[in-house]
Amino acid sequence: MRNVLVTGATGTQGGAVVDHLLADSEQWEIYGLTRDATSDGAEALEARGVTVVEGDLTDAERMQDLVEGMDAVYGVTTFMEQGTDVEVEQGVTLAEAAADAGVEHFVYSSVGSADADTGLPHFESKWAVEQRIEELGLPATVVRPVFFMQNFAYMMRDDIMDGRLAMPLHEGVSLAVVDATDIGQAVVAALNDPDAFLGEVVTLAGDDLTLEEFAAAFSEQLSHEVEPVHADIAEYREMAGDELADMFQWFNDVGYDIDIPALAEWGIETTPFEEYLADSKVWQPAASAASN
């Protein structure tokens, strides 16, 4: 048995990694890091055989204690709660602890096109962590997921249920998306085959659709028409703020660099958007009716 520390174990990405590791439990002893070991999510992990450990990614001493004796570490950071400076601190602290402990395989969840000089703060923060990983000479794999399919529920579910999909995407521009749970599959593939994945960067995407194609998929899934609306970027900026508006402007001007068919060479099968909708409890017609 090999030991692996999974950060963000009660979250979407870390939870997906745990799910896939548990399916391969004969190979891995799983340690799940959370900030609150008494939470319902943490207790649910314990019930499934995960050893839950508590700590903050910015606590260098605690991270050094936790990574000691680990064969592998999965790191995921977030800017959502405390901003991008703290996100960089989270990733760098974990990477430095892993390097000091001699961890054999560090898998970091970054973002698609992190190295593309986007100027987007929450892309640049992950790129800074990637650069530190390289400086440390840490044996690593970087996975770079694109825009999460789950973001549609998080950002605009009510409007979609009401028959309107409004996004500041220009006509003819496609947006690459990925089911966030597919990250678990990719990370465990890397952990189980370090010879193939060490030193590699893997961009994860499951589909690449225009606004009209997204709306058509929602219409089919929800059994009612969902109208695509190309929102004005200036109006969107007033509503959502510069961070998201700048991101959508970058989607329009540049966009993610992806190669979905190439993922099969890694043994990774990502989820198409229509399949994600069909499998998601959030997007069932019954849920739509209940919301009206």
How confident is the model at residue 82, as a pLDDT? 74
Write out pLDDT tens, residues 114-127.
999 999 999 999 99
Question: What is the Cα–Cα distance from 276 to 199, expressed in whole angstroms?
Answer: 30
How confident is the model at residue 287, as a pLDDT? 52
**Residue 204 CA to its chain's centroid (Å):** 9
Write out pLDDT tens, residues 73-106.
999 998 867 778 999 999 999 999 999 999 999 9
Has domain 2-145+180-204+257-270 been given CATH number 3.40.50.720?
yes
Q: Are the C-beta atoms of residues 214 and 228 closer than 8 Å to each other?
A: yes
Is pLDDT above 70 for 138?
A: yes
Write out pLDDT tens, residues 170-201.
999 999 999 999 999 999 999 999 999 999 99
Give the mean pLDDT of 264-275.
96
Is pLDDT above 60 for 292?
A: no
Question: What is the Cα–Cα distance from 52 to 63, expressed in whole angstroms?
Answer: 14
The residues spanned by each domain of the chain are 2-145+180-204+257-270
